[in-house]
Chain A
Amino acid sequence: MTQDVPADAPPRVDERIAAVSWWRRLLVKPELGSLIGAVAVFAFFAAQSQVFRSLSGVANWLDVASTLGIMAVAVALLMIGGHFDLSAGVMTGTTALTVGIVAVELGQNIWVAIAVAGVLALAVGFVNGWLVTRTGLPSFIITLGTFLMLQGLNLGLTKLFTGTVQVRGLADAPGYHSAELLLASTITVFGQPFRVAVLWWVLVTVVASWVLLRTRFGNWVFATGGDEVASRNVGVPARRTTIALFMTTAGAAWLVGSITAVRLTSVQANTGTGQELIYIVAAVIGGCLLTGGFGSAIGAALGALIFGMTQQGIVYLNWDADWFYFFLGAMLLLAVLTNRLVRRYAEATRR
């Protein structure tokens, strides 16, 4: 096999590797669109509202983006893996209510309550993933089922335990102060308190990005989402990967649910219902393709940032908030169209 290559010959380039210019490589990055979008949205609101660009304003819209961002990043991983989780929104309510019921109604330490909620969430995530991989049914249908079931359980069990539609009084549960410190405190930077949830958001984004881009599991996620059969043929454990992704979403919902419960000290039975679509919107704005196999965690985090900035920016400009969903929809369409073009371009580049 070894050939003698003359020392003065030009270096051999594999003809299968095409030279790709740096800006082309930049263009096919999934998060590019959302980065430009985030900068544009920030510039737009910052130019018109002094409060929006002030430290207190930044803390306010980062707060809105943070819990949404934690979920959007997890949902993005799942979407890259080729699946949806419609139960993700209501799961944040389920975990928050579990924390509340175990701590208040059953009188346990709040950390015990959080652990119980965690076990429960991971179990639901496992069942979601297991059903999807076992039956081969679209995850849309499976998780729609769990979504409805969890919604019913949230309402039914809350009423059963508390007699009303709220769990209240978490602040008096044993262990509350340490939980508050970790999940719901504020960190003062330049004299401005920021919610600790923002740090959790950054942490989740960094970890998810690292896993996705630097680990074998990350490769499996891309492979499973790109073409499940092909990936299985080359030895990717597609089932295990899918189940792990569903459990990741559930785990993120557990984190967000615990943050919500500890922060508000009271939880409504309808918490989180309807949020699952917002997570998907953030992931799509962040460059995830609905067909799987493409996307990024940082993009999803930026999608959540755009969402938070828009939601509070409209308030700071004293605009009629009734129009918020119009802007959100317009941004979604713009993002999807951009993504579509990017994908075509990326495929053309690959050829």
Chain B
Amino acid sequence: MARPMRLLALALAAPLVLAACSTENSGGGTDSAAGGAATSDGDLDFAVVTHGSAGDAFWDVVQNGAEAAGEDLGVGVDYQSDGDPQRQSQLIEAAVNQDVDGIVVSMANPDALQDSITAAVDAGIPVVTINSGADRSAEFGAIGHVGQDETIAGIGAGQRLAADGAQNVLCVVHEAGNIGLEQRCAGASQGLGTDVRLLQVDINDLQSAQSTITSQLQSDDSIDAVLTLNSAVAPIAASAASDAGADVEIATFDLNGDVISAIQDGTVAFAVDQQQFEQGYLPIVMLQLYAENLNTVGGGQPVLTGPGIVDPSNVDAIADLAAEGTR
């Protein structure tokens, strides 16, 4: 019994030692906190709070954009994210408590964030919204919005497909009921000048998605282009086309490594890129302009980051940038 007793004492003592360490640190900690408060007039500190889950490749690029802007402009940028709207709103409240000089928020769920965003605005902290939620941004009191308009991006894709000579386009929706995806397909119809055909698949089951696209192509050989709305679906559509022996053009929304190499080897014609690096970078610039010169950007209208088209003409240059995490 003696040994467990000693271990027990150790286990119980460990947190106390930890507390003791922190007391030692407290001198320095308080200094830096006081220093932060004193210099807040000169040095700007911005918080970025998104709904991206940790390790999501798309949001990593946004984070890189925000941090690059922080370095370039010499301002502090703290990036936090949580996919749960309640947690996201609590992170916004934490940023308000820290009395930051500006907050950047992605608005996938505007209703859930309304309270915390208006609280930030009421506390005199300028807010820039990014990614989605453009239509609610001004209503909540944000000074601007940076994102991609899904309809306009869809129009861009449709126009490009039309220029490539496509007439019967299959638009592959990978998430039932996602309003943004419907807008992309509707925009593509508008840009193409004729209605695209919708095909419903499930992003969580790519194998059956491939079979579904294959059977669709087999049953209708008038289809001459497939537009996917997610970078993970594009390579699947390319394999489906070769399975079906169909000669169709493949185009997609959003980039990843697979899509870049597919554009390089010609299996995918182009990708509509929303350049989310800008959704991290530009709001920091906007907040700095506002803090130092009371400038706003966009005049209540969203600042669009897309569509940018990636095709064989620029894919090689972009491949290097993607490897650096900025595209």
Contacts and interface: CB of A to CB of B under 8 A. Distances in A.
Interface in A31-84: 32-33, 36-37, 39-41, 43-44, 47-51, 54, 56-57, 60, 63-64, 67
B83 to A, nearest CB: 8
A234 interface: no
Nearest to B49: A315
B38 interface: no
A344 B4 contact: yes
B211 interface: no
Chain B CB within 10 Å — which of A165, A341, A345 has the most? Answer: A341
A50 to B, nearest CB: 4
A37 B19 CA distance: 10
Interface stretch (B7-15, B142-150, B214-222, B271-279): B7-15
B80 A315 contact: yes
Given A40-B16, A60-B97, A266-B112, 16 more contacts: A32-B12, A36-B12, A36-B16, A40-B18, A48-B33, A49-B29, A56-B96, A60-B93, A164-B177, A165-B175, A166-B109, A171-B111, A338-B8, A341-B7, A342-B8, A348-B1
Given A47-B26, A164-B178, A321-B81, A264 B12 contact: no
B193 to A, nearest CB: 27
Interface in A158-199: 159, 162-166, 168-171
Interface of A: 27, 32-33, 36-37, 39-41, 43-44, 47-51, 54, 56-57, 60, 63-64, 67, 159, 162-166, 168-171, 260, 263-266, 268, 270-271, 312, 315-316, 318, 321-322, 334, 337-338, 341-342, 344-345, 348
Interface in B17-34: 18-19, 21-23, 25-26, 29-30, 33-34
Contacts of B93: 60, 63
16 contacts: A32-B12, A40-B19, A41-B15, A43-B19, A43-B23, A44-B19, A54-B97, A60-B93, A165-B177, A316-B94, A316-B98, A318-B78, A321-B54, A334-B11, A345-B1, A348-B4
Contacts of B14: 334
Per DSSP, chain A at the interface is: helix
Nearest to A270: B83
Given A40-B15, A264-B85, A341 B112 contact: no
B118 to A, nearest CB: 13
Contact of A268 (B12, B23, B109): B109
Most chain B beta-carbon neighbours within 10 Å: one of A27, A57, A268, A344: A268
Interface residues of B, number: 52
A338 B11 contact: yes
B90 interface: yes
Nearest to B180: A164
A166 to B, nearest CB: 7
Interface of B: 1, 4-5, 7-8, 11-12, 14-16, 18-19, 21-23, 25-26, 29-30, 33-34, 37, 54, 78, 80-81, 83-87, 89-91, 93-99, 109-112, 114-115, 175-179
B16 A63 contact: no
A274 to B, nearest CB: 9
A268 B90 contact: no
Nearest to B27: A47
B12 A164 contact: no
Contact of A57 (B23, B25, B97): B97
A243 B274 CA distance: 52
Contacts of A47: 22-23, 25-26, 29-30
A165 B111 CA distance: 14
Contact of A337 (B11, B15, B33, B34): B11
Contact of B111 (A63, A164, A265, A344): A265
B22 A48 contact: yes
A315 B103 CA distance: 14
B11 A341 contact: yes
B90 A345 contact: no
A264 B4 contact: no
Given A44-B19, A47-B22, A169 B111 contact: yes
Given A40-B16, A344-B4, A164 B84 contact: no
Contacts of A43: 19, 22-23
B175 to A, nearest CB: 8
A204 B53 CA distance: 31
Contacts of A337: 11
A36 B9 CA distance: 12
Given A37-B15, A56-B97, A268-B109, A163 B85 contact: no
Given A37-B15, A265-B111, A63 B90 contact: yes
A351 to B, nearest CB: 10
Nearest to B32: A48
A164 B83 CA distance: 17
B8 A345 contact: yes
B111 A48 contact: no
A318 B36 CA distance: 12
